[in-house]
Amino acid sequence: MFQSKCLLMIALLSYSISANSQNEGKKPISQPLVKHIYTADPSAHVFNGKIYVYPSHDIESDTKEDDEGGHFDMKDFHVLSMDKIGGKVTDNGVALDIKSIPWAGRQLWAPDAAYKNGTYYLYFPVKDKQDVFRMGVATSKKPMGPFKPETEPIKGSYSIDPAVFKDTDGSYYMYFGGIWGGQLQRWKDNVYQGKTENPKKGETARLPRIAKLSANMKNFAEEVKEVKILDEKGNLFMENNNDKRFFEASWMHKYKGKYYFSYSTGDTHNICYAMGDNPYGPFTYKGIVLKPVQGWTNHHSIVEQKGKWYLFYHDVQLSGKTHLRNVKVTELMYNTDGTIQTIEAYK
């Protein structure tokens, strides 16, 4: 196992160096939304006409760096808000602290939010006291919080990167999952298998998950299902199709009646997307939304305001360190056939 992890780390490091070297000497197309704190993994939503961004809050941690992201040791969440893209960005302070979550052990990773019937819901992954990632939910009457967490994780939840999508019929769905440090590979048929190897070349790639949310927004209304991402021939991707297959960072949006499932390929640094006809999929791969950014990770969201669409993402412009990132935004454009125009983060 140690040898395979070392080989994996070497391969991923080479991908990271390659991605950064490709962008060397180029200028970013957008600037960080805030510079006084480090932010990442932005989940953006429009509530009451205003944009709210729910990011991770990166910090310098005394946790030793490891190949499962132990040094991404976030302790709280801040909510950013703005009236419009390009306008003043407000940091609304601490919305949720890990100390207020009774069942939490460590590592508050990428969150998301939703609104229903006068209540705002903040969804977040955090490792429990057995060091296993679960999903939590917290509530507030204000979009910026503070949020009060439930005393237990969502039953049946696991892994990382919750993305909550409201469909046009009023149904809410959570998409989630992330391999490697996100522990998705530890689960089979929704049963925890303990620590297991990451997927290998020649194996079918791990798939993201979906579950419809219950009416109270605090539970799953059904058994967790896999989300199938297919190539143009209708086949599932293999693990070694790592420029196209799923790694982490699910997001769902709808445009002209079609469902767009987007995600990060992780070790090859693309934000890709696939299209389908219903929230469960299957989704057919269509291309790249955003090419690699500077830094180890990328994680995004796509949102519409006043007839324009925007892509939120992060890179490491401020720090140059993979675990100290900064959130950015740029306009997203569609082609006449509904496909998305690929964005280069640097010119």
CA 13/CA 181 separation, integer angstroms: 15
Is residue 343 situated within a structural domain?
no
Q: Are 340 and 21 in contact (CB under 8 A)?
A: no
In 3D, which of 189, 33, 182, 46 has the Cα closest to residue 115? 46
In 3D, which of 159, 146, 212, 213 has the Cα closest to residue 185? 159
Is residue 340 situated within a structural domain?
no
CB atoms within 10 A of CB 302: 21
CB atoms within 10 A of CB 104: 20
Is residue 339 situated within a structural domain?
no
What is the chain's pLDDT, residue by residue, as a tens digit (347 residues)? 434 444 444 444 554 555 566 777 899 999 999 999 999 999 999 999 999 999 999 999 888 887 788 788 899 999 999 999 999 999 999 999 999 999 999 999 999 999 999 999 999 999 999 999 999 999 999 999 999 999 999 999 999 999 999 999 999 999 999 999 999 999 999 999 999 888 889 999 999 999 999 999 999 999 999 999 999 999 999 999 999 999 999 999 999 999 999 999 999 999 999 999 999 999 999 999 999 999 989 999 999 999 999 999 999 999 999 999 999 999 999 999 999 999 999 99
The 3-state DSSP composition of the chain as helix, strand, coil percent (nearest 5) reads 10, 40, 50
3 state DSSP class of 104: strand
Active-site residue (options: 41, 112, 267, 315): 41
Residue 18 is predicted with a pLDDT of 52
Is residue 168 situated within a structural domain?
yes
Residue 28 is predicted with a pLDDT of 97
Is residue 66 situated within a structural domain?
yes
Q: How far apart are the first and last CA of the chain?
A: 41
Residue 7 is predicted with a pLDDT of 42
Backbone angles phi, psi at 280, to 5 degrees: -85, -15
Is residue 89 situated within a structural domain?
yes
Burial label, 282 (beta-carbon count in 10 A; 0-12, 13-18, 19+): middle
Residues 6+ apart with CB under 8 A from 89: 33, 34, 80, 81, 82
41 is catalytic: yes
Residue 151 is predicted with a pLDDT of 97
Residue 307 is predicted with a pLDDT of 95
CA 212/CA 171 separation, integer angstroms: 8
Residue type, 119: T
In 3D, which of 342, 247, 262 has the Cα closest to residue 300? 262
CA 94/CA 124 separation, integer angstroms: 14
Is residue 342 situated within a structural domain?
no
Residue 1 is predicted with a pLDDT of 41
3 state DSSP class of 333: coil
Is residue 344 situated within a structural domain?
no
How many structural domains compose the chain? 1
CA distances (Å), 314 to each of 81, 89, 257, 299, in order?
16, 16, 28, 7
**How do beta strands 283-290 and 229-230 pair?**
parallel
CB atoms within 10 A of CB 159: 26
Active-site residue (options: 161, 248, 267, 315): 248
In the structure encoding, which two tokens stand for residue 260, read together?
Answer: 């767009």
**How do beta strands 133-140 and 119-128 pair?**
antiparallel
Whether the full predicted model's pTM is greater than 0.85, yes or no, is yes
Residue 11 is predicted with a pLDDT of 47
Residue 197 is predicted with a pLDDT of 86
Residue 88 is predicted with a pLDDT of 97
The parent domain of residue 159 ranges over 2-332
344 is catalytic: no
Conformation bin of residue 249: beta by default, left when phi > 0, alpha when psi is -120 to 50: left
CATH number of the domain to which 44 belongs: 2.115.10.20
CA 88/CA 10 separation, integer angstroms: 41
